[in-house]
Amino acid sequence: MVTSIHQVEDWGYLEVDERGVLMDVSPDFCEHFSINKEDCLGGSIHDIIHGMYGRKRKKVFFGVITKINCIIRVTKKGNRDIYRVIVRDGDIEHYEMVSFMHAIDLQKMNKKKPHQNKYSFDEIIGNSEAMNNAKELATRIATSNSTVLLTGESGTGKELFAQAIHGMSPRKNNPFIAVNCAAIPGELFESELFGYEPGAFSGAKKEGKPGKVELAMNGTLFLDEISELPYEAQGKLLRVLQEKEVERVGGTVSKHIDVRIIAATNRDLGQLVEEGKFRQDLFYRLFVFDLLIPSLRERIDDILPLAFYFIDYFNVKFDHEVKHIDARLQDWMLNYDWPGNVRELKAVIERGMNIVDGDTLSMNDIYFSTQVSTNSPNRKTVPLQSLEDEVRNAEINAIQRALQESNGDRTLAAQKLKIHIASLYRKIAKYNLK
């Protein structure tokens, strides 16, 4: 992965007003460039940074400070500009190489064929034992052409693994086609997956349309949420996988296909087979390699690295300079259950990064009330509890409601809550619920 600009050492900053007049100089800037703060204040930014006249408001540019070549990043702070030195002198050769390689990577990405994968194993954040084991097994599986079944809770990153497996496979230069099985209505399944001939049905395109299977030819077809396929559609998919042939809707000729299947689910397919909701023959067809993606609570060591990764991402997106997470928020993150896994963690960080003020993310940034006050005498104000207690009460209420609506059926309740059944049992025991 290309080193990000935020990982380079900080050499201090200058703060200027809208006219370019120096209003503040950081102590580390004065130390690194042997500049006296009092001599600078009130002067022009151009007296300190030379060679910046034609920068045209670039956020990152080259400049010279006390005869030292530097790279400077500019950010806004109200109506003022912050000029922060992010690379100087000896590091410039390294930075130029990193920038050049990054530009090459972007060019390659832009020249990619449609439907190619976006992620590799290097871009899957996490070095915990559980995640390293999953990545190691996935790399072994990648070189094969056999079917893979990715299992794990929602939000764990199953599609990232699917794309990374494709990227290490012999098919990596061919298409990666993703299909969300839950999003395709049963009556449209055949035409979406297998395609259709001209005039196959009312509303069909006059030139016909290739299906997802054809688009994935010589590549990988990723079937996300495979458990949600209607039972009848499961049989049609099985036939295509067995015969390695596909016939478009309204067609009379079968086409040979060469496609690798990677399927994913957050449900127990074996249990669905027992309940008669999933075809046993299709299950065995998919169950060649079974790769379980660990939940976030099973990889606690990855929580803070992931949090800082998302902070770095949103720093660029929102033009912030957040560098720290306060101790209280870190403690909460490490002890929270994360039912939504990495997807939930990213949402929490994004929530905080929208309102953070300063360089430190805190509990107050991720947890705030949006209630509008009212003068109604009948309205009772409920005192705000700690975040841990608020989350605990919210989870208890949600679980009790789901169980009530499911008449005590815990499997159905877990589905309503969109969590794994094991997570529901764990929470019921944790909160001593009946």
Give bridge partners of residue 82 from the DSSP assignment.
15, 75
Selection from 337, 354, 360 nearest residue 427 by Cα: 337
Helix (H) or strand (E) holding 379: none
CATH number, domain containing residue 322: 1.10.8.60
pLDDT at residue 9, as a whole number: 53
Regarding whether 397 and 357 lie in a shared domain, the answer is no
On whether the CB atoms of residues 150 and 263 are closer than 8 A, the answer is yes
The answer to whether residue 418 sits within a structural domain is yes
Between strands 220-224 and 176-180, the pairing is parallel
The answer to whether residue 336 sits within a structural domain is yes
Regarding whether 129 and 53 lie in a shared domain, the answer is no
Burial of 274 (0-12, 13-18, 19+ CB in 10 A): exposed
Calculate the dihedral angle through the C-alpha atoms of 224, 260, 257, 118, rounding to the nearest 10 degrees: 70
Global pTM value: 0.59
The answer to whether residue 206 sits within a structural domain is yes
Selection from 260, 311, 45 nearest residue 142 by Cα: 260
Helix segments in 287-362, DSSP class H: 303-318, 327-335, 341-355
Regarding whether 183 and 159 lie in a shared domain, the answer is yes
Between strands 22-25 and 13-16, the pairing is antiparallel
CATH number, domain containing residue 271: 3.40.50.300
Burial of 428 (0-12, 13-18, 19+ CB in 10 A): middle
The answer to whether residue 155 sits within a structural domain is yes
Regarding whether 258 and 314 lie in a shared domain, the answer is no
Q: How many CB atoms lie within 10 A of CB 308?
A: 18
Regarding whether 276 and 309 lie in a shared domain, the answer is no
| Backbone phi, psi, residue 69, to 5° | -70, 135
In the listed set 244, 270, 292, which residue is the last one of a domain according to the structure? Answer: 292
Regarding whether 288 and 144 lie in a shared domain, the answer is yes
The answer to whether residue 26 sits within a structural domain is yes
Regarding whether 274 and 328 lie in a shared domain, the answer is no
On whether the CB atoms of residues 48 and 22 are closer than 8 A, the answer is yes
Helix segments in 112-258, DSSP class H: 129-142, 158-168, 189-194, 212-215, 231-243
pLDDT at residue 393, as a whole number: 79
CATH number, domain containing residue 407: 1.10.10
3-state helix, strand, coil in the chain (%, to 5): 45, 15, 35
Between strands 209-210 and 195-196, the pairing is antiparallel
pLDDT at residue 376, as a whole number: 34
CATH number, domain containing residue 74: 3.30.450.20
Regarding whether 203 and 342 lie in a shared domain, the answer is no
d(CA 138, CA 290): 10
pLDDT at residue 368, as a whole number: 53
Number of domains in the chain: 4
Question: What is the extent of the structural domain holding 72?
Answer: 5-94
pLDDT at residue 78, as a whole number: 78
| Alpha carbon of residue 80 to chain centroid | 33
In the listed set 257, 292, 327, which residue is the last one of a domain according to the structure? Answer: 292
Regarding whether 279 and 138 lie in a shared domain, the answer is yes
The answer to whether residue 379 sits within a structural domain is no
Q: How far is CA 240 from CA 28, 143, 185, 230, 236, in A?
A: 66, 23, 19, 16, 7
The answer to whether residue 187 sits within a structural domain is yes
In the listed set 273, 292, 311, which residue is the last one of a domain according to the structure? Answer: 292
The answer to whether residue 371 sits within a structural domain is no
pLDDT at residue 168, as a whole number: 92
As given in the structure block, the two tokens for residue 107 are: 């060019």
Burial of 253 (0-12, 13-18, 19+ CB in 10 A): exposed
On whether the CB atoms of residues 15 and 80 are closer than 8 A, the answer is yes
Q: How many CB atoms lie within 10 A of CB 21?
A: 14
pLDDT at residue 85, as a whole number: 85
pLDDT at residue 190, as a whole number: 83
d(CA 87, CA 262): 43
Regarding whether 282 and 150 lie in a shared domain, the answer is yes
For tokens 């929102």, name the residue.
318
Sign of CA dihedral 151, 154, 155, 160: positive
Hey, is 24 helix, strand or coil? Answer: strand
Regarding whether 90 and 192 lie in a shared domain, the answer is no
Residues of the chain under the 50 pLDDT cut: 1-8, 53-56, 92-112, 369-382
d(CA 429, CA 423): 10
Regarding whether 67 and 88 lie in a shared domain, the answer is yes
